[in-house]
Structure 1
Amino acid sequence: MSSEAIRPSTLDGIKRLAKLLKTERGIKYLPALDEAAQLAGFQNFRHARNVLRATPKSGRPRPGHRIFLTAYWKSREDGTSGRETLTIELSAQWGDLITPLQLQNHRALVHFRSEGPDHLALEPLLGTQSEARRAVCAAARALHFMDATKLRPSKSHSRAYPGGRSSNAIPGRDHYSIWYDRETKRYLFVDEPYEKAVDGKVQEREAWAKRHGFAIIKPKWAGMYAPDIGSRLYLVADEKKGIPLGPIAAALDKLPVPIIEDSWEGESASMMPFFVSPGTIAKAAAAKEKPKLPRKSSGQRNSVGYVQTFVGPQRRPKGRMPVEAHAQVGRLLKSVLVATYHRKGVYNRVNAIRGELDEWTQREYDRAELPSEQFFELYYHESGSTFSRSLTETERARHVESLGQAKDLLGEHYPDSPPLRTLLKKVDAAVKSLQSWV
């Protein structure tokens, strides 16, 4: 039977047909996957994968996943405060769409942190209710983009420029972001300028695309950056090496109108108590019911030695904590540091904790596994120091919670050992100092 007569109806069937086409026609596997998907009635393999994964054997669509996005605010003028929480529906949990570390790769998500499998919360305290709502809506739009396209934000900007040079970027670009397809290893440039700003550059942008062999598409979906005040989303990619734009535009056009502040449908409530999502509660209950295994011996066998420059012999826990956990602990510690500069009992201890964790990270990962640029961002380069000489009870409680989460992560990923216990005592001391700060 000719391969062209085969009409597969499953992903496995499409992959088998692709291997047959690859052999018959002497083409590469990725083009063969797209051709096999087209024979099955789809636009390309990505389209087939999205449709077939979303439709179980019963033919009934899978239920969506509720995701909660939260931001806290406090007015500098009258002292009023509150919480803004928006609930959105996605096809998967946020952790299946993006890792905690990759949240830093997009402007709308960079300051959000994981509060649970179904909850992301903005780390800094914002100044107004409007700021909080805008931040949450922007995060929702970014997550909707990821859910529709299954792409992840990237910092590898050079991969999306002609010749890898930013000087070759599309004319009139603004509020842009880079996106990556993990399966095809291809990149997409998303440009979101204000539409009026590029009205006079249409011919220049088209000439640029023709000169460099790029394609430009403007979907009907307005975009992520600021669709309520005139920004518009353009998809830009290399016609041969980049992500095909047609399926991406089609997926975006199926999305509802971008969520904006003016159509707010979230929950507005008092700041305290902090919001805890259903998924977080369920996860805590499951962990409590899980039988605890006996701890291994906590002696020196659970630690290893190293020599620290200018200090001498030191010890750290045996094994290594995942990079994503390091990033999460780093963000928690930095959120405390930016608010406690004038409380040295807190600041100095937390600063010492991050310095020690920075040393441990250097011994746990080499540069091939953890590039220098990513390493330096884990525990340093915080911004937005408030230099406050006092904190409210609510603010202190939030930072105590952050230190508690950092302590839990360290205890979860490192074996019980003298170096870890010493570090955790510093965390406890910082919490005690923070609680007594009036």
Structure 2
Amino acid sequence: MNTTFDVRASTLPGIKRKAKSLGRDQSLPHRAALDASARLSGFESFQHAQKVLQCDRRVHRVHSVFLSAYWRDSTVNPSSGLEILELSSPRPLEEFLSRYQCGLAQNLQGFFFEYSDHLEMRSNASSQARAKEILTRAALALQFVEAARLRPVTTMAHRKAMEMAEQLPYCDHVSRWVCEKSGDWIMLDEPYDHMMARQAAAQVRDAWVLSSGLHWAKPRWEGLYNPGQTVPYFVTNSAELLRRVVSSVEGLAEQNRTGIASSAFSSQPHNGQFISPARERDGKKRKPRPGTTFGFSKNAVEYRWREGYASRWRPAQQMSMQNHHEMGLTLKRLYASNTPLQAHAKLQEIQSELENWMFAEYRLEDRDDVDVDVYYGGHDLQKYTGVEAMVSAVDHLRSILIGTYLDSKPLRDYLKKLDSARQLILEAAS
């Protein structure tokens, strides 16, 4: 059902704003309205709220969280740099965001947990302005996660539970969250404002929520995806979680009314690395930024570089096009066969990487001489029937690989994947 409720303000400005609404709606004197608003937020009176909240602010310890992003502008006047944003947080970063959750949160895709107080974006932004925009949005996400006590969804169980909510008509830019304590889920839906201005769309959405048994709310908050251009809505199966999250984000809206100050940003050269205070305190040196140095690996060569990411390696030898065709046909036939799902995923990884190796090996050749359909495409492929035939096909792939390439790390890595696929095929039959 569609739930409406009084949101509990968590700040003095929020309590005052709520008091104005109560005074207008219930014809209360201003002082009585302040006390009523404070009681809705769990305080005895407005004076009690002032004492508690002001005391909390005095004793509250602030923790610094740093966000950084490299940028490279290749337009008329090429330039580059590193932008750093310092954010104040009530809790240390590690207390409300884990390393594996980082890249799964809205606005934090592309960031990684560089140190206990520092998130770094892996790739380059296209300009200094774009880097600052990315950092500002990432800061909004961190503030949201900390204040609302939510975590980005990371499990299939929670995704499955949220499938119904994702059928909300006209939903867009969806992000999925779960309460850190109760485990209840909540979805943040952020369609563009011009879509929500259409009365028909709003009516369809409202009717859908009424019939779904879910709860939703539109908070006084600009959201995460594209503040000022999109309209945030929360959808959940828990009315209590909805109440708490809406209260939290509306408190954030009060705090962030003036935006992030330009003084919170600092700049460094692009060829440098930001050393956070916690890393410096612990005396931990940073490794060079991935994709900016050259390495060595026996019988292997780097074939792809990208700043911020580990280089891609392949065996140093060249496989004949005849063998590439044979490998491609065998993998395509396995793809068409009834291979177990997990084995199928391993074989797909091998298929993709072997195509990369082929194009890298024949980089200097005329593109017309390299068949782009070697590893993908084709019709009427003959399937392998039975476990024995599929295992024999995998063994055939292995014999071509070790007969072509000398021992190297990239070869060993993909032989392991091939052996794993073979074992999964056998296990599925037993």
TM-score, scaled to structure 1: 0.51
Alignment of 1:217 with 2:212, yes or no, is no
Residue 84 of structure 1 and its aligned partner are, at CA, apart by: 1.1
Residue 189 of structure 1 and its aligned partner are, at CA, apart by: 0.5
- Amino acid aligned to 1:345: V
In structure 2, what is the Cα distance between the partners aligned to 1:97 and 1:278?
19
Residue 94 of structure 1 and its aligned partner are, at CA, apart by: 1.7
Residue 79 of structure 1 and its aligned partner are, at CA, apart by: 2.6
Alignment of 1:247 with 2:244, yes or no, is yes
1:174-193 equivalent positions in 2, closer than 5 A:
174-193=172-191
Alignment of 1:203 with 2:198, yes or no, is no
* Residue of structure 2 in register with 1:276 after alignment: 275
1:231-310 equivalent positions in 2, closer than 5 A:
231-239=230-238, 244-255=241-252, 256-257=255-256, 265-284=264-283
Alignment of 1:126 with 2:117, yes or no, is no
Query: Equivalent pairs: percent with the same residue?
Result: 23
Two-structure CA RMSD over aligned residues (Å): 4.6
In structure 2, what is the Cα distance between the partners aligned to 1:189 and 1:263?
32
Residue 60 of structure 1 and its aligned partner are, at CA, apart by: 5.1
Residue 151 of structure 1 and its aligned partner are, at CA, apart by: 0.4
**Aligned residue pairs: how many?**
267
Helix, strand or coil for the counterpart of 1:268?
strand
* Residue of structure 1 in register with 2:425 after alignment: none
In structure 1, what is the Cα distance between the partners aligned to 2:170 and 2:59?
41
In the alignment, is the contact (CA less than 8 A) between 1:187 and 1:237 conserved in 2?
yes
Residue 87 of structure 1 and its aligned partner are, at CA, apart by: 0.8
In structure 1, what is the Cα distance between the partners aligned to 2:57 and 2:231?
36
In structure 2, what is the Cα distance between the partners aligned to 1:81 and 1:207?
50
Note closer, same or farther for the CA distance 1:114–1:159 as it changes in structure 2 (3 Å cut): closer
Flag structure 2 segments of 5+ consecutive residues without an equivalent.
1-38, 43-48, 305-309, 315-340, 364-407, 413-430
* Residue of structure 2 in register with 1:108 after alignment: 107
In structure 1, what is the Cα distance between the partners aligned to 2:210 and 2:155?
23
Residue 82 of structure 1 and its aligned partner are, at CA, apart by: 1.0
* Residue of structure 1 in register with 2:227 after alignment: 227
Residue 161 of structure 1 and its aligned partner are, at CA, apart by: 7.4
1:310-348 per-residue CA deviation (whole Å, 9 max, x = no partner) reads xxxxxxxxxxxxxxxxxxx9xx87x689x99xxx63459
1:338-387 per-residue CA deviation (whole Å, 9 max, x = no partner) reads x99xxx6345996579xxxxxxxxxxxxxxxxx979x98xx9999xx9x9
Note closer, same or farther for the CA distance 1:116–1:131 as it changes in structure 2 (3 Å cut): same
In structure 1, what is the Cα distance between the partners aligned to 2:71 and 2:183?
39
Flag structure 1 segments of 5+ consecutive residues without an equivalent.
1-40, 45-50, 288-328, 354-370, 390-421, 427-438
In structure 1, what is the Cα distance between the partners aligned to 2:273 and 2:148?
32
Residue 239 of structure 1 and its aligned partner are, at CA, apart by: 4.2
Residue 244 of structure 1 and its aligned partner are, at CA, apart by: 2.1
1:149-164 equivalent positions in 2, closer than 5 A:
149-156=148-155, 159=158, 164=163
In structure 1, what is the Cα distance between the partners aligned to 2:258 and 2:191?
18
In structure 1, what is the Cα distance between the partners aligned to 2:205 and 2:160?
14
1:22-70 per-residue CA deviation (whole Å, 9 max, x = no partner) reads xxxxxxxxxxxxxxxxxxx8979xxxxxx9xx99x99953311111110
In structure 2, what is the Cα distance between the partners aligned to 1:372 and 1:259?
51
In the alignment, is the contact (CA less than 8 A) between 1:162 and 1:212 conserved in 2?
no
Residue 104 of structure 1 and its aligned partner are, at CA, apart by: 2.3
In structure 1, what is the Cα distance between the partners aligned to 2:131 and 2:236?
33
TM-score, scaled to structure 2: 0.52
1:422-437 equivalent positions in 2, closer than 5 A:
none
Alignment of 1:345 with 2:301, yes or no, is yes
Residue 265 of structure 1 and its aligned partner are, at CA, apart by: 4.2
Note closer, same or farther for the CA distance 1:336–1:203 as it changes in structure 2 (3 Å cut): farther
Helix, strand or coil for the counterpart of 2:101?
helix
* Residue of structure 2 in register with 1:9 after alignment: none
1:393-414 per-residue CA deviation (whole Å, 9 max, x = no partner) reads xxxxxxxxxxxxxxxxxxxxxx
69, 72, 75: which one pairs with 1:74?
Answer: 72
- Amino acid aligned to 2:274: F
In the alignment, is the contact (CA less than 8 A) between 2:162 and 2:185 conserved in 1?
no
Note closer, same or farther for the CA distance 1:205–1:150 as it changes in structure 2 (3 Å cut): same
* Residue of structure 1 in register with 2:318 after alignment: none
In the alignment, is the contact (CA less than 8 A) between 2:153 and 2:159 conserved in 1?
no
Residue 261 of structure 1 and its aligned partner are, at CA, apart by: 8.4
- Amino acid aligned to 2:191: P
* Residue of structure 2 in register with 1:8 after alignment: none
Residue 134 of structure 1 and its aligned partner are, at CA, apart by: 1.4
Residue 222 of structure 1 and its aligned partner are, at CA, apart by: 0.9
- Amino acid aligned to 2:103: Q
Note closer, same or farther for the CA distance 1:71–1:102 as it changes in structure 2 (3 Å cut): same
Residue 182 of structure 1 and its aligned partner are, at CA, apart by: 3.1
Note closer, same or farther for the CA distance 1:173–1:79 as it changes in structure 2 (3 Å cut): same
In structure 2, what is the Cα distance between the partners aligned to 1:95 and 1:188?
22
* Residue of structure 1 in register with 2:63 after alignment: 65
Helix, strand or coil for the counterpart of 1:345?
strand
- Amino acid aligned to 2:143: H
Larger Rg computed on CA atoms: 2
In structure 1, what is the Cα distance between the partners aligned to 2:112 and 2:195?
34
* Residue of structure 1 in register with 2:91 after alignment: 92
* Residue of structure 2 in register with 1:140 after alignment: 139
* Residue of structure 2 in register with 1:364 after alignment: none
1:320-359 equivalent positions in 2, closer than 5 A:
345-347=301-303
Helix, strand or coil for the counterpart of 1:101?
coil
In structure 1, what is the Cα distance between the partners aligned to 2:159 and 2:208?
14
Helix, strand or coil for the counterpart of 1:109?
coil
- Amino acid aligned to 1:121: E
In structure 2, what is the Cα distance between the partners aligned to 1:127 and 1:209?
40
Higher relative contact order (Cα pairs below 8 Å, separated by 6+ residues):
2
Note closer, same or farther for the CA distance 1:188–1:160 as it changes in structure 2 (3 Å cut): farther
Helix, strand or coil for the counterpart of 2:119?
strand
Note closer, same or farther for the CA distance 1:223–1:372 as it changes in structure 2 (3 Å cut): farther
- Amino acid aligned to 2:243: G
Residue 129 of structure 1 and its aligned partner are, at CA, apart by: 1.0
In the alignment, is the contact (CA less than 8 A) between 2:216 and 2:233 conserved in 1?
yes
In the alignment, is the contact (CA less than 8 A) between 1:215 and 1:239 conserved in 2?
yes
Note closer, same or farther for the CA distance 1:153–1:218 as it changes in structure 2 (3 Å cut): same
